[in-house]
């Protein structure tokens, strides 16, 4: 494969005795276009290590449901005016939530049943579970140093957080946003800087959730009667 | 043959010396001003540690993590061995209390934060005495010149730009939450990039100089304690 590619690239220059064919030139042009396009696109699989929050866990048993959209989330830049970024955040989001949420409750487990899809009548989970949390990423945006004329990469994430009771009844439904930025540094690649900005945004989400979870009015009211 | 070689060597040495002189001359175009205001004496006992943290709450800029680690290394260097906790390790152990949206902006807020028993026990385990908050940035301005490069012929032209660093360090006593000192560092310099076939960067290293000045001043403050580190 590599030899064929090299031959394709070198053929017009090596063919001293024979004239390069249209096919050879077309092949060369395709390779050049592919190389140029690959230089304009960026692919990133976000990874990071998320610390456990230093908070007093609530005396409750809780669980979470992560949709396949969240677990496999990938942002693909659609604008023709921007570089073709592909940012896969699914695994990082899952790792983040599975570090943060268990630390907020005394007991924790993951369930496979989607409380939203099942509906109240069909939702059937253990009575030992008090709450089911369903996070969903609704919006993902970023800004590059070349666009903002600053030296920072910025990321915004908007989540819809839903909390259900163990009988499937929706208890709380609210939106929460997260912001992360990281300065561009000498010899740091764009993908590393973007990765760091997403991780900072997730950490920001964690800071917001771990401090303000109990302050969501519906949850605050429920917790006063059930904790 | 020998004489020819000798003449050639002397000339080449002369050219090299001139080039080195020009590079040293141009490379030295940076200045740093350090100001310090200390409102209480430092008292760092043996085994106690400090942490250097960057302010990240401004929407327009972010104090560079490499500047923070540079100042931390500068304070921790030398024979006295002041123990400096790594910034990332510190914010991870105290997550989420020192994230940009949560970090205390004043000693009064720190006092309030210390009411959290988990935060207090973690800080006690780290044997922390002082927090050094650094806020500021390095900016590039006044870029001028032009350069043209072509395959085979190389690059020709001249570029020039100014860098300006502006940092302020606030030293807080964690055990008796109060402001101990403020140290500011203003550095500026001009970098040049002539290109004759190859570009020759002559960088003013403004941020590095600001780090060096800030680190040395803070270090002297802590080393001046009765029982440093």
Q: What are the average pLDDT values for consecutive 10-residue runs of chain B, which has 229 residues?
A: 42 58 59 92 90 90 92 88 93 96 94 94 94 94 89 90 95 92 94 90 91 94 67
Q: Is A204 within 8 Å of B99 when comparing Cβ atoms?
A: yes
Distance of CA B124 to CAs B46, B50, B54, B120, B175, Å? 15, 12, 21, 6, 9
Residues 6+ apart with CB under 8 A from A117: none
Q: Are residues A21 and A119 in the same domain?
A: no
- Say yes or no to pLDDT of A137 above 50: yes
- Say yes or no to pLDDT of A105 above 90: yes
Q: Are residues A89 and A196 in the same domain?
A: yes
Q: Are residues A81 and A170 in the same domain?
A: yes
Q: Is the model more confident about B166 or about A18?
A: B166
Per-residue confidence band for A187, with pLDDT thresholds at 50, 70 and 90: low
Average pLDDT over residues A123-135: 88
Torsion, CA A49, CA A54, CA A55, CA A59, rounded to 10: 70
Please name the member of B61, B95, B100 whose beta carbon is closest to the beta carbon of A53: B95
ipTM computed for the complex:
0.79
Per-residue pLDDT, A186: 60
- Best probe of the B interface among A186, A207, A209, by most B CBs < 10 A, is A207
- Say yes or no to pLDDT of A33 above 70: no
Neighbours of B140 (CB within 10 A): 12
Per-residue pLDDT, B36: 92
The overall average pLDDT reported for chain A is: 83
Per-residue pLDDT, B58: 83
With 0-12 / 13-18 / 19 or more C-beta atoms within 10 angstroms meaning exposed / middle / buried, residue A215 is exposed
Average pLDDT over residues A181-186: 77
Q: Is B65 within 8 Å of A181 when comparing Cβ atoms?
A: no
Residues of B in contact with A51 (CB under 8 A): 92-93, 95
Measured CB to CB, residues of chain B less than 8 Å from chain A are 56, 60-62, 64-66, 92-97, 99-102, 118-119, 122
Per-residue pLDDT, B62: 86
Per-residue pLDDT, B151: 85
Residues of B in contact with A101 (CB under 8 A): none
Per-residue pLDDT, A109: 87
Q: Are residues A222 and A203 in the same domain?
A: yes
Q: Are residues A127 and A222 in the same domain?
A: yes
Q: Which domain holds residue A133?
A: 42-226
Per-residue pLDDT, A12: 43
- Best probe of the B interface among A54, A101, A176, A208, by most B CBs < 10 A, is A54
Total domain count, chain A:
2
Q: Are residues A73 and A105 in the same domain?
A: yes
Q: Is B101 within 8 Å of A208 when comparing Cβ atoms?
A: yes
Domain boundary among A9, A25, A40: A40
Report CA B32 to chain centroid distance, whole Å.
12
Q: Are residues A99 and A180 in the same domain?
A: yes
Q: Are residues A168 and A181 in the same domain?
A: yes
- Say yes or no to pLDDT of A119 above 90: no
Residues of A in contact with B61 (CB under 8 A): 150-152, 183
With 0-12 / 13-18 / 19 or more C-beta atoms within 10 angstroms meaning exposed / middle / buried, residue B19 is exposed
Per-residue pLDDT, A30: 55
Q: Are residues A22 and A95 in the same domain?
A: no
Domain locations in chain B as residue ranges: 2-223
Tell whether omega for the bond before B96 is within 30 degrees of 0, i.e. cis: yes
Residues of A in contact with B135 (CB under 8 A): none
Q: Is A53 within 8 Å of B96 when comparing Cβ atoms?
A: yes
Residues of B in contact with A152 (CB under 8 A): 61-62
- Say yes or no to pLDDT of A218 above 90: yes
Per-residue pLDDT, B79: 76
Residues of B in contact with A53 (CB under 8 A): 95-96
Q: Are residues A23 and A116 in the same domain?
A: no
Q: Is A207 within 8 Å of B99 when comparing Cβ atoms?
A: yes
Neighbours of B106 (CB within 10 A): 12
Q: Are residues A78 and A103 in the same domain?
A: yes
Nearest-Cα residue of chain B relative to residue A154 = B59
Q: Are residues A136 and A153 in the same domain?
A: yes
Whether this prediction's pTM lies above 0.90 is answered by no
- Say yes or no to pLDDT of A21 above 60: no
């Amino acid at each position: 494969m590599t030899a064929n590619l090299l031959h394709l690239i070198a053929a017009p220059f090596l063919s001293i005795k024979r004239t390069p064919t249209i096919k050879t030139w077309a092949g060369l042009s395709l390779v050049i276009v592919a190389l140029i396009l690959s230089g304009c696109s960026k692919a990133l699989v976000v990874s990071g290590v998320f610390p456990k929050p230093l908070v007093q866990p609530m005396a409750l048993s809780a669980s979470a449901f992560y949709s396949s959209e969240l677990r496999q989330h990938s942002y693909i830049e659609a604008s023709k005016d921007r570089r073709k970024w592909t940012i896969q955040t699914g695994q990082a989001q899952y790792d983040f939530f599975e570090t943060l949420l268990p630390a907020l409750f005394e007991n924790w487990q993951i369930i496979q049943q989607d409380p939203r899809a099942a509906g109240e009548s069909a939702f059937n989970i253990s009575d030992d579970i008090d709450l089911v949390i369903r996070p969903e990423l609704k919006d993902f945006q970023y800004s590059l140093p070349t666009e903002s004329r600053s030296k920072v990469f910025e990321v915004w994430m908007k989540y819809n957080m839903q909390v259900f009771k163990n009988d499937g009844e929706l208890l709380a439904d609210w939106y929460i946003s997260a912001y992360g930025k990281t300065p561009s540094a000498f010899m740091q690649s764009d993908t590393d800087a973007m990765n760091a900005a997403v991780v900072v945004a997730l950490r920001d989400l964690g800071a917001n959730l771990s401090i303000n979870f109990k302050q969501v009015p519906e949850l605050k009211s429920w917790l006063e009667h059930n904790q | 043959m020998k004489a020819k070689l000798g003449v050639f060597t002397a000339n080449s040495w002369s050219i090299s010396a001139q080039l080195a002189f020009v590079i040293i001359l141009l490379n030295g175009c940076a200045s740093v001003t350090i100001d310090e205001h200390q409102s209480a004496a430092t008292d760092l006992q043996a085994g106690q540690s400090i942490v250097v943290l960057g302010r990240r709450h401004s929407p327009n800029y972010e104090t560079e993590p490499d500047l923070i680690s540079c100042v931390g290394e500068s304070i921790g260097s030398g024979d006295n061995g002041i123990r400096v906790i790594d910034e990332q390790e510190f914010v991870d152990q105290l997550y989420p209390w020192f994230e940009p949206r949560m970090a205390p902006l004043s000693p009064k807020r720190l006092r309030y934060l210390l009411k959290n028993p988990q935060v207090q026990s973690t800080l006690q385990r780290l044997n922390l005495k002082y927090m050094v908050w650094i806020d500021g940035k390095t900016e590039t301005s006044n870029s001028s010149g032009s350069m043209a490069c072509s395959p085979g012929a190389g690059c020709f032209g001249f570029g020039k730009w100014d860098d300006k660093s502006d940092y302020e360090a606030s030293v807080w006593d964690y055990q008796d939450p109060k402001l101990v000192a403020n140290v500011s560092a203003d550095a500026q310099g001009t970098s040049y990039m002539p290109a004759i076939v190859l570009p020759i960067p002559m960088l003013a290293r403004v941020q590095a100089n600001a780090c060096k000045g800030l680190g040395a001043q803070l270090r002297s403050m802590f080393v001046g304690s009765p029982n440093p580190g």
